[in-house]
Amino acid sequence: MSFDLTPKPEHKFTFGLWTVGSTGTDQFATTFPIRAGKSPADIVRLLGEVGAYGVNFHDNDLIPLDATPAETEAIKKDFRAALKETGLVVPMATTNLFSSQIFKDGAFTSNDPKVRAYALQKAMRGMDLGAEFGAKVYVFWGGREGAETDVAKDPLEGLKHFREALNFLCEYNNSQGYGYKFALEAKPNEPRGDIYLPTTGAMLGFIETLDHPEMVGVNPEMAHEHMAGLNFMHAVAQAWDAGKLFHIDLNDQNYARFDQDWRFGQQSWKQSFFLVKFLEDVGYTGSRHFDAHAFRTEDYEGVKEFARGCMRTYLIFKEKARQFNEDKELQALIAESKAEDKSMEKFSGKFSAEKAAELKAFTFDRNAIASRGLRYEKMDQMLTDLMMGLR
Ligand code: GLT
Ligand code: MN
Ligand code: MN
């Protein structure tokens, strides 16, 4: 192996305090922790040791919900010192609007105006905290924004309330001069029976209804699109096409299971390869954030292996993408499959009445066109060989 798999700052690999800091409790359940909890400062040190570039946090990953002002200051001081010591940065922050009991029926979309106001207050305070540490992306994952039954919650009301909250927070962002980009993260279900705006595509449609659509983009998560049985790379491509790929959550899981949040590339090699290839080909410059957890079977040595593995696999696929792009035989087959035909140029591009008339009058040899084999089978097997090191 001749390529370098060492994570470097320019790769923009980030982890959340809640990811490597996970103590191995089953998500959203009340099983016992497997690993002893680490302080935010110690989590930063662990990330520094494995070579990450940045660390992200929810308000309450850093400052526990009921911390006193003195405790808050002490935690911030330690955290700041660990950042300085390791050189890690904080590119993204977010608000926990899902763990506390008050959010049992949603936060921004709760029917209860007191809950909605509390969620707004918590989000503003979270934005203040993120800004203090230099975060420039602010993620909104509405884990509880949904329902188990539609008997008393109206999705139209929910959307209206969600829109009002984001409009309010965009203005708050402007009024404070924070310069955040907001990134909305979709998930189809879990912990709610149904979560509103369940896919990245749904989020992209919703963003256009906001007062400041330019400030708001998406944070697609691989596992979440896979839970919905969708092609993650296609969702990311749509976000990129819309100029809305402000952040990305990389992880893995088996299709159509509960949210497994596994190490990137653990399960879906091919989907992960196409994803990495996409991000590298288009020149995405944002964070590659790993929103995943180590298995419950692991101690902190295993957690480090997990974190190293996420980054290493990304870099392996990045190298494979380079090989793919430079593989002359493969590229020639791809070009051939596109059947470039200059005589068709007159029919493409902008509409004109003449063009339309000429196209309507043209005769196509439908059977000849359809009978051409595209050789996708051959190319796809070549990709398998390439990924397995046989090319
Ligand atoms: C939570 C969730 C993630 C979100 C995080 C941000 S928290 O772990 O499962 O997908 O990205 O709120
Ligand atoms: Mn997840
Ligand atoms: Mn996520």
What spacing in Å lies between the alpha carbon of 383 and ligand 3's midpoint?
29
| Residue 182 CB–ligand 1 contact under 6 Å | no
Strands 146-147 and 92-94 come out as unpaired
pLDDT at 1: 59
Mean local confidence (pLDDT), 135-151: 98
**Starting from the edge strand earliest in sequence, which strands make up the sheet with 216-218, in order?**
216-218, 181-185, 137-141, 92-94, 54-58, 13-16, 288-290, 249-250
Query: What global pTM score does this model have?
Result: 0.97
pLDDT confidence of 96, banded at 50, 70, 90?
very high
Helix (H, G, I), strand (E, B) or coil at 142: coil
pLDDT confidence of 32, banded at 50, 70, 90?
confident
Residue nearest to atom 12 of ligand 1 (CA): 141
Segment holding 311, helix H or strand E = helix 300-326
Topology (CATH level 3) of domain 9-320: TIM Barrel (3.20.20)
| Residue 221 CB–ligand 1 contact under 6 Å | yes
Specify the ligand 1 atom closest to the Cα of 141.
12
pLDDT confidence of 344, banded at 50, 70, 90?
very high
pLDDT at 2: 73
HSE of 210, CA atoms in CB hemisphere, 13 A: 24
pLDDT digits (tens, 9 = 90+) for 98-138: 999 999 999 999 999 999 999 999 999 999 999 999 999 99
pLDDT digits (tens, 9 = 90+) for 280-294: 999 999 999 999 999
List Cβ<8 Å contacts ≥24 apart for 325-330: 325/277, 325/281, 327/382, 327/386, 327/391, 329/382, 330/379, 330/382, 330/383, 330/386
Residue nearest to atom 7 of ligand 1 (CA): 141
Contact present, 118 and 102 (Cβ < 8 Å): yes
Average pLDDT, the chain: 97
Phi, psi of 121 (to 5 degrees): -60, -45
pLDDT digits (tens, 9 = 90+) for 236-261: 999 999 999 999 999 999 988 888 99
Neighbouring residues of 27: CB distance < 8 A, sequence distance ≥ 6: 258, 259, 261
| Residue 249 CB–ligand 1 contact under 6 Å | yes
* Residue entry with tokens 């290839």: 277
CA dist 93 and 133 (Å) reads 9
pLDDT at 27: 64
Identify the bridge partners of residue 184 per DSSP, sorted by sequence position: 140, 218
Phi, psi of 55 (to 5 degrees): -135, 135
**Ligand with minimal distance to 249 CA:** 3
Helix (H, G, I), strand (E, B) or coil at 129: helix
What spacing in Å lies between the alpha carbon of 120 and ligand 3's midpoint?
20
| Residue 141 CB–ligand 1 contact under 6 Å | yes
Q: Nearest CA to 248 among 38, 59, 11, 89? A: 11
CA dist 257 and 251 (Å) reads 14
pLDDT digits (tens, 9 = 90+) for 314-329: 999 999 999 999 999 9
pLDDT digits (tens, 9 = 90+) for 58-85: 999 999 999 999 999 999 999 999 999 9
The vertex-253 CA angle with 248 and 254, nearest 5°, equals 140
What spacing in Å lies between the alpha carbon of 221 and ligand 3's midpoint?
5
> Which segments of the chain belong to CATH 3.20.20.150?
9-320
Specify the ligand 1 atom closest to the Cα of 97.
12
**Ligand with minimal distance to 260 CA:** 2
Q: In one letter, which amino acid is 89?
A: V
CA dist 142 and 91 (Å) reads 20
**Ligand with minimal distance to 95 CA:** 1
- Counting Cβ atoms within 10 Å, is residue 63 exposed (0-12), middle (13-18) or buried (19+)? buried
Catalytic residue positions, numbered: 58, 61
